[in-house]
Structures are given as structure tokens and as C-alpha cells.
Structure 1
Amino acid sequence: MAKVTIMLACAAGMSTSLLVSKMNKAAEAKGVDAHIFAIPASDIDNKMTSDHPDVLLLGPQVRYMEAQVRGRVDVPVAVINMQDYGMMNGEKVLTSALDLLA
């Protein structure tokens, strides 16, 4: 599998940064070459242009934006499972992102 770029967007990009580090550890353990980063939801359009992610995951706190974002981007979009987000389960969130690309 080629390098995969996963963008996480949440209200401010802060709480999601811990999830990013856990997802990076999970990717390393699985041998997945991944660039995973978190941004505030307000930066989605800019980062789509500059970073060209393969998949966009929305934090549960911005799930209301899902339909609007889907209409603006040309990559798979999903809302992170609230339980996986709350438990900071990087492995499950990584798997769900990779499943969107399968």
C-alpha cells in the first residue's frame, strides 16, 4: 500500500492530537506508511488543497458538518466513532480510515 494521508478535523484540533499520536503508533505497528495529522475544522478547505489527504475523519464534536463537508471534498469522509474517540483508540480509528480506502 502506498503512503496514506489521513486528516482528522475537530473543533480546535487539540484533543485530536493525542489520537493522532496513538494512530501513528498503530500504523507503525501494522507497517502502514501513513501521514496522520489533526486540524481545526475551520481549516478543512485550506488543508485539502495544501496537504491532499486521502481520507478525512471528523471528530464527534463536529459531526454536524459531515454532509456539508462531503459536498465540498472529493475524498472519503467519516465521523470518528464516539466511543473510539473517547477511549483514544488509535488502532480502531486507523482501521476505520483504512477501510474507507479499501
Structure 2
Amino acid sequence: MSYGRIMNHPILGEWSERKGITFRFDDQEYEAFEGETIAAALLAQGIRTLRYHEETRTPRGFYCNIGHCFECRVTVDGIDGQRACLTLLTNGMDVRTGKSLPSPLKKGAHLP
């Protein structure tokens, strides 16, 4: 479970003291630590693609990792558009690649 993680941080302390949990990402089970964000857990597993751009279909992933940019939107337990960098994992959580939402810039799109 330590792949890609700093296991002994000078301020946050030892990760080994935290409870291990499991979650699913796109139908595959992964391990994480209680209190960890979805983003941190996925980055630790080497996962970088979280959704695809609405128009170009290019892979999108982590950008700011502090909740400003909305690039890390995923579907969490059936709720679309959740930011992986702000959402704390819970045991058994189901996370899926973010759905491509329709672009308001496409020809013929209806604007609100």
C-alpha cells in the first residue's frame, strides 16, 4: 500500500498508524488510508486519468489538487462531478471515471 506515498511525513506523522480501507475505482479494488482524499489514493496507485475532455476527449487528471480547477471531477457513489482532491475516501466507496458532460460551446447546444 506504500507505492507512491510518503510514509513518514515530518508534520503529518506516520501513515502506518492510520486504518487501512478499500475502495473501488472503475470496478477495480484498491487500498487506501482512512482520511485520505480520492486524489491522494489514486496518485499513490499510479492512476493519473480521471475523466476525458468534453470536446477533444483527451485524458484529464490532476492539475491544482487544491479544489480550484475542477479537472479532477469523478463520479462518487453515483453522484457526478465530485472533486477527487477534496473528497475524503470512505470504506467501500465506489469511484468512477468522470462522465463527459455536454459542452455548451458545441454547435446547436442549448444554453441555460
Q: Please give the TM-score of this superposition, normalised by the length of structure 1.
A: 0.27
Higher relative contact order (CA 8 A, sep 6+): 1
Structure having the higher strand fraction is: 2
Q: Please give the TM-score of this superposition, normalised by the length of structure 2.
A: 0.26
**Rg larger for:** 2
Structure having the higher helix fraction is: 1
